[in-house]
Amino acid sequence: MKKIDLKKIPSEFLRLIEIVSKEADIQNIDAYLVGGFVRDVLIEKKNLDIDIVVEFDAIELAKEISQKHKTTITSYPHFGTATLSWESGAKIDLASARKERYSRPGALPIVSAGVIRDDLMRRDFTINAMAISINKKSFGVLVDEFHGFEDLMEKKIRVFHEKSFIDDPTRILRAIRFEQRLGFQIEKQTREFLIDAIESDAAATVTPGRYLEEFKKILKEAECEKHLKRLGELGGLGFIHLRMSAETLNVELLKSIGRSLEWFQENCDLSLSLSRWIVYFMGILDSLGLDEVRNSLEKSSLSRKDQEKVFSSKTECEVIGGLLVEAIKPSQAYKILNRLSLEELVFFLAKTKDESVKRSIEKFLTDYRHIKILTDGKDLIGLGVTDGKQIKEILQNLLYKKIDGELQTKGDEDNYLQQMELK
Ligand code: ATP
């Protein structure tokens, strides 16, 4: 029997685990830490996504806890799960132990109530199928019925059975993600099952939306180009486009995207919502022709808006580069760049080899796009301008002048307006 020292968990989180533990003991329910949290505790990797499985109705238990402690509860009756959120921002996910079976490959599983063993057996890999008891009498005892600990120490990703990737092809992407993130290896037989699943086009049995959700997780990983390259080597990029492979992947561009995203994070307003994964998606499709990109996007489950962004990254890149080289004044660069999405801007920043184009995009992102004029429509109406179109034009010109550094203060703007013959 292996006992894990949970004292290594940050005390704030340990305290929350103890709250659940106490309530589980009062109600005489077996409760366990499970999944990625256990895996990461065992390899001393930081993970604050606490998942607890109980051999009872998780929502009932969560309600009890939320009444006694200052927590908000969000429950998902359809899945038998609940999330407890504390004011500090900490969260714990509670789920009822369950059994799963697949009615057909790629379908969502049919779920029924079970015990901890059933709950661990339904999981993807042995390293993700361990639990740690949190009841007082057995606090810290590791439940490891499938040799997960051994695989974890040997750095192996192993499935439970040969149909695992067929039952749920999203596990293909998960296997590669954990292998690359943790620096592990997909165990030999598991690799054969995985390649068989890829070759039999198992991914086609899952809805594109579900597959994309798991793929996005790869694109959110650090150095995701390594994951993508590995996926390509195993033949698993065909779901994007049949011609996509490790060879067609532009790894240098993907690395450059990583650097541009880092630059963006360090230098730009972080409240701007930028989808990092879309920028990478643009990079992946970069080696395909226009029609191939269109085909790939049409069969993807990307929203219309995201499809347009990605398609435009393909059509606009060279045009924009050419225009920017000719833009002498900052306002000219502003006019060219202001109609692009943030994702396109970061993608172009990563793609261009022209230093002056790079500088223009960086300047646009850090400076030009934040410049605001101090005159507004009311001021112009006060000066006798009544035509809406003319108001818009004047305000725009004021902004361009300010971007070019010709106006600074409100007084400069007033002087400029006085010089114009406004009607
Ligand atoms: P991460 O560190 O990326 O959050 P995680 O292991 O916590 O990884 P999640 O996607 O949050 O992964 O899933 C939580 C747990 O649920 C996993 O550890 C695994 O046990 C189980 N799980 C998730 N997806 C699957 C799947 N497709 N098939 C089987 N089990 C899964």
Residue 399 has pLDDT above 90, yes or no: yes
Q: Which atom of ligand 1 is nearest to the CA of 35?
A: 18
User: Are 34 and 118 found together in one domain?
Assistant: yes
Q: Is residue 124 lining ligand 1, measured as CB closer than 6 Å?
A: yes
Residue 398 has pLDDT above 80, yes or no: yes
User: Are 355 and 284 found together in one domain?
Assistant: yes
Q: What are phi and psi of 329, to 5 degrees?
A: -90, 150
Cα separation, 145 vs 131, whole angstroms = 9
Tell how far the Cα of 198 is from the centroid of ligand 1, in angstroms: 20
Cα separation, 312 vs 130, whole angstroms = 45
pLDDT at position 316: 85
Run of H or E including 181:
helix 170-182
User: Are 268 and 381 found together in one domain?
Assistant: no
User: Does 89 reside within a domain?
Assistant: yes
User: Does 223 reside within a domain?
Assistant: no
Tell how far the Cα of 195 is from the centroid of ligand 1, in angstroms: 21
Residue 42: CB partners within 8 Å, gap ≥ 6?
4, 130, 149, 152
62: left (phi over 0), alpha (psi -120 to 50) or beta: alpha
Question: Which of 154, 188, 206 is a domain's end point?
Answer: 154
Cα separation, 148 vs 53, whole angstroms = 18
User: Does 200 reside within a domain?
Assistant: no
Run of H or E including 242:
none
Percentage of residues of the chain with pLDDT beyond 90: 80
**Residue 274, domain CATH:** 1.20.58
Fill in the DSSP letter of residue 7.
Answer: G
Q: Is residue 119 lining ligand 1, measured as CB closer than 6 Å?
A: no
Query: Which residue has the CA at smallest separation from atom 9 of ligand 1?
Result: 36
Q: Is residue 30 lining ligand 1, measured as CB closer than 6 Å?
A: no
**Ligand 1 mutation target, pool 83, 111, 119, 124, most atoms within 8 A of CB:** 124
User: Are 314 and 408 found together in one domain?
Assistant: no
Q: Is residue 98 lining ligand 1, measured as CB closer than 6 Å?
A: no
User: Are 358 and 390 found together in one domain?
Assistant: no
Query: Which residue has the CA at smallest separation from atom 16 of ligand 1?
Result: 35
Encoded tokens for 84: 């407890």
Q: Is residue 128 lining ligand 1, measured as CB closer than 6 Å?
A: yes
Query: Which residue has the CA at smallest separation from atom 11 of ligand 1?
Result: 36
Confidence of residue 291 (pLDDT cuts 50, 70, 90): very high
- Asked if 34 and 52 touch (Cβ cutoff 8 Å), the reply is yes
Q: Is residue 170 lining ligand 1, measured as CB closer than 6 Å?
A: yes
**Residue 87, domain CATH:** 3.30.460.10
Confidence of residue 289 (pLDDT cuts 50, 70, 90): very high
In SS3 terms, 250-303 reads as: CHHHHHHHHHHHHHHHHHCCCCCCCCHHHHHHHHHHCCCCHHHHHHHHHHCCCC
Tell how far the Cα of 171 is from the centroid of ligand 1, in angstroms: 9
User: Does 291 reside within a domain?
Assistant: yes
Encoded tokens for 300: 């993807």
Q: Is residue 171 lining ligand 1, measured as CB closer than 6 Å?
A: yes
> What is the tens place of the pLDDT at every residue in 15-27?
999 999 999 999 9
Question: Which of 89, 122, 154 is a domain's end point?
Answer: 154
* Averaged pLDDT for residues 282-290: 94
Q: Is residue 35 lining ligand 1, measured as CB closer than 6 Å?
A: yes
User: Are 150 and 277 found together in one domain?
Assistant: no
* Averaged pLDDT for residues 38-48: 94
Query: Which residue has the CA at smallest separation from atom 1 of ligand 1?
Result: 36
> What is the tens place of the pLDDT at every residue in 303-346?
999 999 999 999 887 788 888 888 789 999 999 999 999 999 99
Encoded tokens for 230: 């590995």
Cα separation, 237 vs 229, whole angstroms = 9
Domain that holds residue 47: 6-154
Residue 72 has pLDDT above 70, yes or no: yes
Confidence of residue 421 (pLDDT cuts 50, 70, 90): low
User: Does 407 reside within a domain?
Assistant: yes
Cα separation, 226 vs 180, whole angstroms = 7
Q: Which atom of ligand 1 is nearest to the CA of 129?
A: 20
User: Does 186 reside within a domain?
Assistant: no
User: Does 179 reside within a domain?
Assistant: no
User: Does 44 reside within a domain?
Assistant: yes
- Asked if 180 and 230 touch (Cβ cutoff 8 Å), the reply is yes
Cα separation, 132 vs 149, whole angstroms = 12
User: Are 285 and 362 found together in one domain?
Assistant: yes
* Averaged pLDDT for residues 396-405: 94
Tell how far the Cα of 134 is from the centroid of ligand 1, in angstroms: 20
- Asked if 92 and 99 touch (Cβ cutoff 8 Å), the reply is no
> How many structural domains is the chain composed of?
3
Averaged pLDDT of the chain: 93
User: Are 335 and 397 found together in one domain?
Assistant: no
First to last CA, the chain: 88
Tell how far the Cα of 182 is from the centroid of ligand 1, in angstroms: 14
User: Are 347 and 399 found together in one domain?
Assistant: no
**Burial environment of residue 91 by CB neighbours within 10 A (0 to 12, 13 to 18, 19 or more):** middle
Tell how far the Cα of 125 is from the centroid of ligand 1, in angstroms: 9
Helix, strand, coil content of the chain in percent (nearest 5): 55, 10, 35
Question: Which of 88, 121, 154 is a domain's end point?
Answer: 154
pLDDT at position 419: 85
> Which range is least confidently modeled, 190-199, 234-243, 375-384?
375-384
Nearest partner of 116 among 216, 38, 238, 31, judged by Cα: 31
* Averaged pLDDT for residues 231-252: 94
> What is the tens place of the pLDDT at every residue in 117-154?
999 999 999 999 999 999 999 999 999 999 999 999 99
Confidence of residue 271 (pLDDT cuts 50, 70, 90): low
Cα separation, 53 vs 58, whole angstroms = 8
User: Are 47 and 85 found together in one domain?
Assistant: yes
User: Are 362 and 384 found together in one domain?
Assistant: no
pLDDT at position 270: 65
User: Are 358 and 384 found together in one domain?
Assistant: no
